[in-house]
Amino acid sequence: MTEDMNQVEVNNYEVGDRVKAMVTKVEEKQVIVDVENSKTDGIIPISELSSLHVEKASDAASEGDELELEVIKVEEDALILSKRKIDALNAWEDLEKKFQSQEVFEAEVKDVVKGGLVVDLGVRGFVPASLVEDYFVEDFSDYKGRTITFKIVELDKEVNRLILSHRAVVQDEKGKKKLKVLETIQAGQVLDGTVQRITDFGAFIDIGGVDGLVHISQLSHEHVEKASDVVTEGQQVKVKVLSVDQDNERISLSIKETLPGPWSGVAEKASRGTELEGQVKRLVSFGAFVEVFPGVEGLVHISQISHKHIGTPHEVLKEGQTVKVKVLDVNEDEQRLSLSMKELEEPEIEETNYQLPEESKGFQLGEMIGDKLKDLK
């Protein structure tokens, strides 16, 4: 074929034409293709192979690949072609459909860059760091090469902007799982859970894809200052469902309700006659409440405080004071405990003053005896 015929062959194509071609040779910075219905070679520069940065042409094409390409320049002895442009045209149409339907799809993470991840979908898709997971990720290096699920959250073909989110997929899945759990669990159920987060007012427990709140007052039978004093993140716990609010998607849980109560076994630990030490918790007009075990208070009636007569317990006791008590009676079922302080005190002996008859009464004992002796004589 003469040079003029080659020129005519090449000039049969114009910039913008679509052609089909087969890869015949892959060089470092370009790919040579055999263009269908053409006697001339086609060349794809490395910059036109992909929407992403490519170090070597072999990263994006192999010998024998059949490609659809766009003519971007007509030279005397070759066609300069672009794979990237056709990929982008095809991709935008598909991506528009995915965006409108909010379809979830899988894609491979091609690169990790500052601020997020890069995905090749025929056009460059970017996943900001904040949209990768629903939790903080410090290092994304191991995400490269992974295939994960995405949704398109922003698309603008005019400025070539495509923003993807894996976090949205995760949150949708959790939302569906949460609704399912909310529909199945009922108040009164005892479930296994994992401590997810600890706050000032309690702890959030994962009970199978949904979090429920254990208020700080429901962590223990004892008074709790900080939730972190009782539970730790990641800890496995048993919880009882107190209530389920499906409308507001809230679940109230209790750890306390799954634990033995403070009164459990009190009948054995504080049987009648047992001597204990406790702390005065409250003073009332009729006596004092003394805590002898965590969460277990017994009443020392005012009559059992002291052998002395007292008007009010405040005369001899103060809140926070440590005292010794003796168990008078215990009723574990009714959670009643009668105590005495008096029983452990020695009663005071009253002193009595005896006086002899006064001399002013006119006689002494000796005189009385003397008089009697005289009469006998």
Asked if residue 78 and residue 8 are part of one domain, the reply reads: yes
Q: Which of 53, 86, 119 is where one domain is finished? A: 86
Asked if residue 291 and residue 240 are part of one domain, the reply reads: no
Which of 262, 266, 258, 261 lies closest to 231, judged by CA?
A: 258
Does residue 4 carry a pLDDT above 50? no
- Cα separation, 204 vs 208, whole angstroms: 12
- Cα separation, 13 vs 16, whole angstroms: 9
| Contact of 234 with 195, CB cutoff 8 Å | yes
- Cα separation, 304 vs 151, whole angstroms: 74
Residue type, 50: S
- Indicate the Cα dihedral angle 110, 115, 121, 122, nearest 10°: -90
Residue 249 in domain:
yes
Digit-coded pLDDT (tens) for 284-341: 999 999 999 988 999 999 999 999 899 999 999 999 999 999 999 999 889 999 999 9
Digit-coded pLDDT (tens) for 92-103: 989 999 999 999
- Cα separation, 213 vs 198, whole angstroms: 10
- Cα separation, 341 vs 280, whole angstroms: 12
Kindly give, in sequence order, each residue whose CB lies less than 8 Å from that of residue 137, ignoring residues fewer than 6 positions away. Answer: 129
356's tokens? 């002899």
Sign of the CA dihedral running 130, 134, 137, 141: negative
Kindly give, in sequence order, each residue whose CB lies less than 8 Å from that of residue 37, ignoring residues fewer than 6 positions away. Answer: none
Kindly give, in sequence order, each residue whose CB lies less than 8 Å from that of residue 261, ignoring residues fewer than 6 positions away. Answer: 221, 295
CB count, 10 Å around CB of 359? Answer: 8
Asked if residue 206 and residue 165 are part of one domain, the reply reads: no
Task: Give the per-residue pLDDT at 87.
Answer: 85
H/E stretch holding 89:
helix 83-101
Q: Which of 258, 283, 298 is where one domain is finished? A: 258
* Residue reference for tokens 């890069």: 118
Kindly give, in sequence order, each residue whose CB lies less than 8 Å from that of residue 364, ignoring residues fewer than 6 positions away. Answer: none
Does residue 355 carry a pLDDT above 80? no
Sign of the CA dihedral running 48, 53, 54, 60: negative
The stretch 60-72 carries a mean pLDDT of 91
Burial class (CB in 10 A: 0-12, 13-18, 19+), 342: middle
Task: Give the per-residue pLDDT at 349.
Answer: 61
Asked if residue 60 and residue 118 are part of one domain, the reply reads: no
Residue 271 in domain:
yes
Domain residue limits at 10? 3-86
Count structural domains, the chain.
Answer: 4
Residue bearing the bigger pLDDT, 234 or 376: 234
Task: Give the per-residue pLDDT at 36.
Answer: 84
Separation of CA 230 from chain center: 15
Asked if residue 67 and residue 7 are part of one domain, the reply reads: yes
- Cα separation, 251 vs 213, whole angstroms: 6
- Cα separation, 123 vs 157, whole angstroms: 10
Task: Give the per-residue pLDDT at 6.
Answer: 42
- Cα separation, 108 vs 96, whole angstroms: 19
Digit-coded pLDDT (tens) for 263-277: 888 999 999 999 999
Residue 371 in domain:
no
Residue 296 in domain:
yes
Does residue 170 carry a pLDDT above 90? yes
CA–CA distance from 347 to each of 227, 277, 278, 342 (Å)? Answer: 47, 20, 22, 8
Quick one: DSSP state of residue 182?
H
CATH number for position 238: 2.40.50.140
